[in-house]
Structure 1
Amino acid sequence: MIRRMLLLLATLLLAVPATAQPRPPVVLAAASLQESMNAAADAWARQGHLRPTLSFAASSALARQVAAGAPADLFVSADVEWMDDLDRRDLLARGSRVNLLGNRLVLIAPADSMARVALRQGVDLRAALNGGRLAMADPDAVPAGRYGKAALTRLRAWDAVAASVVRAENVRAALALVERGAAPLGIVYATDAKASAKVRVVGVFPAASHPPIVYPVARLKASRNVEGERFRRFLVSPAGRAIFVRYGFSPR
């Protein structure tokens, strides 16, 4: 998968004529940022800039692409750990890393579900599943899944439902499983639930049940595109952050 995504990014860059200067910045962004980052890219383009090329996937997959040499300018992760990993590899431009956004973790069900779950210590989530599966991003690698596992562990519910978990590729894939009715419950970010009319929030995880949800942004050290740095500065500006707030994120 990483090889296919690297090929796609390289193809996108090669499609830009050699005489076109500057070129659009390439942004690798967490899957949960699809609507909001597209809105930010549109706002940037309306100011007379070239619209950024956006690539969305799980932060884990994107970080591995960067480590493998993906031709990109910015990385926006859904957690600090994958950004830390690139920092340790000396792949980030010094001084460009900023904590951009925050989010909440929620439990969702299909829109027509009557379920409601009180997410507190000792919650019997297995009973709420009623023999069904729990959709969530891969808890071993993807930020939304890691936050979800941490929350369920803190609430003493993980051991009871671990065997029922469907490990999705990213948080939007977990959302899709619930949208289709393939899973009666799922764990996603509050912004993902807000973006879909096909699901409803049936519980909100206590903020103290998992590590703070933080989305850092950074320019990649290998980037030589001045438009990438300009777009990064726009994202962290009050005007840029305000766009994400409209989609349910909290500023950091």
Structure 2
Amino acid sequence: MLAGGGMGPDDDGVSFAHALATLKEQGSALLVVGSVPEELFADASATMLGDPAADPPRRRLVVTPEPNRVDAVRRLRETGPLSSEYARLVTRGESARSAATADHSLDQVTPRTHVIDGSIRELGATIAEVIDEFDLFAGGLAPAEFRMAFDCLPTLLSTYGREAAFRFLHVTIAQARAVSGLVHFRLPRTLDSEVVRLFRPLFDATVELRLEGGGLDQRWHFRDRDLTSDWLPIERSAHEK
């Protein structure tokens, strides 16, 4: 599966499994919604970035607005190699240069960090550059080999507004789909909020997160299918291959 958990009810299990397999084969963009603590979102995000034992290793990019977000580095550490051929971090501000070493409890191998101080145009160009470099390293990316976690959507909305954010998403998602990548974008709002309804048509599926009984659950809504999963648990450190 793309993210940890079961397959839903028996009568829908085959359809759900087929829908997930199609997302992997064709490349997909997921909108991750729901307000949950940062560390729990990071757990869900890690399941979408892939299994550290995957062969070939996933080529992973995390885009975060916070220069010292330790969980962004941790996601890369937990999901595969940290060399520049396989892992990149994009963030903003000069202090981002120390972000990769902020957690001294972890080993000292750190991902290559791209520091963005400029415009939304610069952000888009940097993401495109990373995708191109990963494609070159791979000699052509295989389906689902490229993964991206994008944490900056709320920042884009507050800084540039909905229209600019919509255009940015349209272009960035198209670039990821061109290499059959699997990318997910976080928007911590409710499923029925106006801004979520605005952006959902850009995405292949919307994934709701909730905190229930101390655990993290997910529910999938597929855009082109009349299919919504049950609420499914996400196990900590569970990764999709």
Range class of TM-score, shorter chain: under 0.3
TM-score with structure 1 setting the length: 0.26
TM-score with structure 2 setting the length: 0.27
* Larger RCO, structures 1/2 (Cα 8 Å, 6+ apart): 2
Specify the structure having the higher radius of gyration (Cα).
1
